[in-house]
Chains A and B, each alone.
Chain A
Amino acid sequence: MSKLAPVEIERLQEQVAQLTARLAEREQAMREQERQLERYAADLRETYKLEREHALELRGSYMATVRALSNAVEARDAYTGKHAERVAAYGLELGRATGSSLAVDPQIEFGFLLHDIGKVAVPDAILFKPNPLSPLERDLMERHPLIGWEILREVDFLGVAKLVVRSHHERWDGTGYPDRLAGDGIPYAARVFAVADTLDALTTTRPYRVALPFEQARAIIREGAGSQFDPSVIEAFNQISDRELADIRESIA
């Protein structure tokens, strides 16, 4: 083993000290960088929370606006009462039963709630006429989906909701209105809605008919599979029990 000269040792010691100092400096810099990154993460999280809050607020405002509009339509007709809300709830339940993403799309609910907004343009004398409508009156009445669609046309946030408004009186066999669409040509949400709408109409007392029990309404609706209604929607409808339907109705009354 060769002996190191004292100067040599001193030089090495100095080198070690320098390296140690540099290492400490590096570690210090790294810790600072880590802290900075954590700061980024924390700020990102806070921004995300804020953004989420705003989105929720905005959604709440949309919902309130849509409900106000829907209430304005309902206020005219003492008979239908909370028809729009019930139909929306039946429609969403039906959407869930079909296994589609309908029930989680807020625009769909908007469409369900606003489906009859075009009726604001139908005169009271026609809307509340207890006797059968004349061909001319019927023609006016049947314009309400198109009028509704026109009213909402420029409202971007409603998106596919507008399709429900326009197409909720189309029939699976193509004999509905206003566009005489048939089968898959009818927007899916409108096909689901048509079943919910009929269900509520049959199970609510109207000037010309008392409310039917769910069981009877269900039988009538089933008969419409393939003519008035999309058979696949009726299949989904069959999975919902009368109990569940009654629960929905009670929750809204």
Chain B
Amino acid sequence: MNELAGPPPAARAPWSVMIVDDDPFIRKLIATTLADVAGFALHEASDGGQALALAARVSPALVFLDVDMPGPNGIETCRGLRELEPMRQATIVMLTAGAEREPEALQAGADLFLTKPFSPLELLRLVDGLHAEDTRA
């Protein structure tokens, strides 16, 4: 993984994606699906605490966040991420098992939802579209 050693606060970090899931296989699968698709960095975190620390360091433009995790769950992690200054504008995609937790997740600051098992093509289109939009401006 491409880890940045604390960029100066003024410099904008390169466009990157953070994957947060306690299941290493899901992380691997998402990372494999997205690797090299449009020249951005991928970062992985296996729990909420790690996610917050990593986000503070690399300020990802896009976060995939599993809703069900031991320790702080996805909802709590989402709230925490939104409290980080550079994460206000980021797009947070919550990975859920169904629609029942969506209202709660929306309140916590999630922008979009992908239901597991998610469509990898949908994942690709989403990331590619956001990346193109952000890097054009």
Which residues of A come within 8 Å of B, CB atoms?
A: 34, 37-38, 41-42, 44-45, 48-49, 52
Contact (Cβ within 8 A) A45 B29: no
Q: Contacts A49-B37, A52-B128 hold; do A44 and B120 have CB atoms under 8 A apart?
A: yes
Q: How far is the CB of A90 from chain B (nearest CB, A)?
A: 20
Contact (Cβ within 8 A) B25 A34: yes
Contact (Cβ within 8 A) B121 A41: no
Contact (Cβ within 8 A) B128 A45: no
8 contacts between A and B (CB under 8 A): A38-B29, A41-B32, A42-B32, A44-B33, A45-B33, A45-B120, A48-B37, A48-B128
6 additional contacts (CB under 8 A) given A42-B32, A48-B124, A52-B128: A37-B29, A41-B33, A42-B33, A42-B35, A48-B37, A48-B121
Q: How far is the CB of B59 from chain A (nearest CB, A)?
A: 24
B62 within 8 A of A: no
B34 within 8 A of A: yes
Look across to chain B and name the residue whose beta carbon is closest to the beta carbon of A30. Answer: B25
Taking CB atoms and an 8 Å cut-off, the chain B residues in 47-105 that contact chain A are: none
Q: How far is the CB of B113 from chain A (nearest CB, A)?
A: 20
CA–CA, A34 and B128, complex, Å: 25
Task: Tally A-B pairs: CB < 8 A.
Answer: 32
Chain B residues, Cβ within 8 Å of A52:
128
Chain B residues, Cβ within 8 Å of A38:
28-29, 32
Question: Main SS of chain B's interface residues?
Answer: helix
CA–CA, A139 and B33, complex, Å: 60
CA–CA, A49 and B36, complex, Å: 9
CA–CA, A37 and B29, complex, Å: 8
8 cross-chain pairs, A with B, having the tightest CB-CB distances, nearest first: A41-B32, A41-B33, A38-B32, A48-B124, A42-B32, A44-B120, A45-B33, A41-B29
CA–CA, A201 and B35, complex, Å: 50
Chain A residues, Cβ within 8 Å of B25:
34
Q: How far is the CB of B30 from chain A (nearest CB, A)?
A: 8
CA–CA, A42 and B33, complex, Å: 6
Q: How far is the CB of B17 from chain A (nearest CB, A)?
A: 13
Contact (Cβ within 8 A) A45 B28: no
Chain B residues, Cβ within 8 Å of A37:
29
Look across to chain A and name the residue whose beta carbon is closest to the beta carbon of B34. Answer: A45
Look across to chain B and name the residue whose beta carbon is closest to the beta carbon of A38. Answer: B32
Chain A residues, Cβ within 8 Å of B37:
45, 48-49
CA–CA, A42 and B124, complex, Å: 11
CA–CA, A48 and B121, complex, Å: 8
Chain A residues, Cβ within 8 Å of B120:
41, 44-45
Write out, one digit per residue, whether chain B residues 15-45 have a CB within 8 A of any chain A CB (1) or not (0). Answer: 0000000000100110011111100000000
Q: How far is the CB of B102 from chain A (nearest CB, A)?
A: 26
Q: How far is the CB of B130 from chain A (nearest CB, A)?
A: 14
Chain B residues, Cβ within 8 Å of A44:
33, 120-121, 124
Q: How far is the CB of A32 from chain B (nearest CB, A)?
A: 13
Q: How far is the CB of A94 from chain B (nearest CB, A)?
A: 20
